[in-house]
Amino acid sequence: MAEQRKTKNSAAKIAANNRYTAKMYDEIKVRVPKGEKDVLKQYAKEHYRSLNGFILDAVYTYLEKADNTQTETTE
């Protein structure tokens, strides 16, 4: 059996990753009641999604439905 090596990232790599993340992404903090994070993580995992992906899907689905409802009421 091949031995797996765990390597730590260098400080330079971590700094480069942080710069890239700051340049490419905005961050939004979401607060949920104690225990809800685990419930959401489990749900996301059961549906083969990351928690971040699950939350983004939920937000975009909500926005899409809101846009469709708004369009229907103005027609």
- At 30 the pLDDT is 94
Where exactly are the structural domains of the chain?
30-75
Average pLDDT over residues 42-48: 96
Check the CA dihedral 25-55-8-4 and report its sign.
negative
Instruction: Provide the whole-model pTM.
Output: 0.66
